[in-house]
A and B are shown apart, each in its own frame.
Chain A
């Protein structure tokens, strides 16, 4: 049997030339033996990674026991004195109400922080469908939710390259670029998304959000106009836009 190990290793270590990569992918589709060799390479690495995790966890456990931490861990959650927690909760609520009033009614809206907080609450974890197999969008979303932003971007990018009309991939590309602080590109993709006649299109709202996050000269004013458009045209994000505009 031909030894492909060096060739396969080169492909996954990205040391092959463009021509060799093309040959690799062609062989993968046409040569069953070669595909099996590649599958073995990946399976072996997967098993090694699982073994690695087992060994790392053992090392971590040992580290904790060496430091005497295990003995400090409670076996059960102790009974808590509820009145203390209730008093603290009541005090916290009062402080929260006062600070909310101060934040929302006595000061202009801090646009960047507002955008940060919206992104944190709504865009750090995107809904993934639960199914036995993952299509490219779901794979991209899973990577995104795991924090692998660059890898998820690659997936969405390849989808857009294959099908320039794929508005979902464009929307997610915009969101990933927003998270990566590449505001110009994020804005560009949200602008492209605007051109699709969708029933529910968040493009204008996301454009405003991007400008709020960037917060450069003139961005605040432009974001305001976009939010006003969202409210006026009853677009997606209207309720949030109304809330923000109230304190603008």
Chain B
């Protein structure tokens, strides 16, 4: 199959449907979306003179952001999926260029704020941000590899925005309540590992 060949827009409905249906369908939807516009990579190499690695990263980041927005309902279908994704792709390209030019001076780097923090009041956000900076993310990353495959898989689904109900479907748990208990237990396990020497 030639992934760089344009496919009729009728496929877009299936992609969006699979992604919003969630559960086991979502993974297939993600793969369809990724392959659907893979020719953007080639475009970026020609138009923006990027290396293959840079173009691949740019496109993958676009698709990951696009998936998140489709799943949470931000994509309202006011433009075609291609136009919409291309605007994300272009914005990410601008960010990349901006990052390249400002990297020389770290003062201009923008601090990323985790999405979940946006619902917290400004004062509380400052306190938590301060504590987050103190957390050693590298250690946390290493400990994540020690919590066991099942826990890791479950937590990754959670971080990907799957609800407990959807995780029942994809990981064959009995009920959402069991998923929640297991998920919190896994997080606790990660915390114990993080604090252990």
Is A20 an interface residue, CB under 8 A from the partner? Answer: no
- In the complex, residue of chain B having the shortest beta-carbon distance to the beta carbon of A69: B3
- A184 near B: Cβ within 8 Å? no
A47 to B42, CA, bound (A): 31
On whether the beta carbons of B128 and A39 are closer than 8 Å, the reply is yes
CA A55 – CA B108 in complex, angstroms? Answer: 29
Indicate which residue in A50, A64, A128 contacts B3 across the interface (CB closer than 8 Å): A64
Binary contact readout A1-41 vs B (1 if CB under 8 angstroms, 0 otherwise)? 00101100100101000000000010011000001101111
Q: Is B121 an interface residue (CB 8 A)?
A: yes
CB atoms of A44 and B108 under 8 A apart: no
Chain B contacts with A in 108-160, Cβ cutoff 8 A: 108-111, 113-124, 127-128, 131-132, 134-135, 137, 140-141, 144, 155-156, 158-160
Q: A47, B41: Cβ atoms under 8 Å? A: no
| Cβ contact within 8 Å between A69 and B113 | no
Instruction: State A43–B144 Cα separation when bound (angstroms).
Output: 12
**B1 close to chain A: CB less than 8 A:** yes
Q: Which of B4, B110, B141, B160: most chain A CB closer than 10 A?
A: B110
When each residue 133-173 of chain A gets 1 if its CB lies under 8 Å from chain B and 0 otherwise, what string results? Answer: 11010010011011111110011000000000000000000
**From B38, B94, B156, contact of A69 by CB (8 A):** B38
Is the Cβ of A73 less than 8 Å from the Cβ of B128? no
Given A53-B64, A131-B110, also A44-B140 (CB < 8 A): yes
- B110 close to A142 (CB less than 8 A): yes
Smallest Cβ distance from B156 to chain A, in angstroms?
A: 5
A40-B135, A51-B144 known; A25+B35 contact, CB < 8 A: no
Closest beta carbon of chain B to A81's beta carbon, Å: 14
**Would A181 and B127 count as touching, CB distance under 8 A?**
no
State A39–B121 Cα separation when bound (angstroms): 14
- Chain B residues contacting A47 (CB-CB under 8 Å) are 137, 140-141, 144
Q: Is B10 an interface residue (CB 8 A)?
A: no
B69-A39 in contact (CB<8A): no
A40-B191, A67-B1 known; A56 vs B128 contact (CB < 8 Å): no
Given contacts A29-B127, A72-B4, A139-B118, 7 further A-B contacts (CB under 8 A): A9-B180, A14-B119, A44-B187, A57-B56, A60-B60, A73-B42, A125-B91
A-binding residues in B (CB < 8 A): 1, 3-4, 30-31, 34-35, 38, 41-42, 45-46, 49, 52, 56-57, 60-61, 63-65, 69, 74, 78, 87-88, 91, 94, 102, 107-111, 113-124, 127-128, 131-132, 134-135, 137, 140-141, 144, 155-156, 158-160, 180, 183-184, 187-188, 190-191, 194
Q: Which residues of A contact B (CB under 8 A)?
A: 3, 5-6, 9, 12, 14, 25, 28-29, 35-36, 38-53, 55-57, 59-61, 63-64, 67, 69, 72-75, 77, 124-125, 128, 130-134, 136, 139, 142-143, 145-151, 154-155, 181
Complex A-B: 24 CB contacts under 8 Å: A5-B184, A5-B187, A29-B124, A35-B128, A36-B131, A39-B128, A39-B132, A40-B191, A42-B117, A43-B132, A43-B135, A44-B155, A45-B158, A46-B132, A48-B159, A50-B137, A50-B141, A51-B141, A51-B144, A63-B34, A74-B42, A75-B52, A132-B109, A147-B74
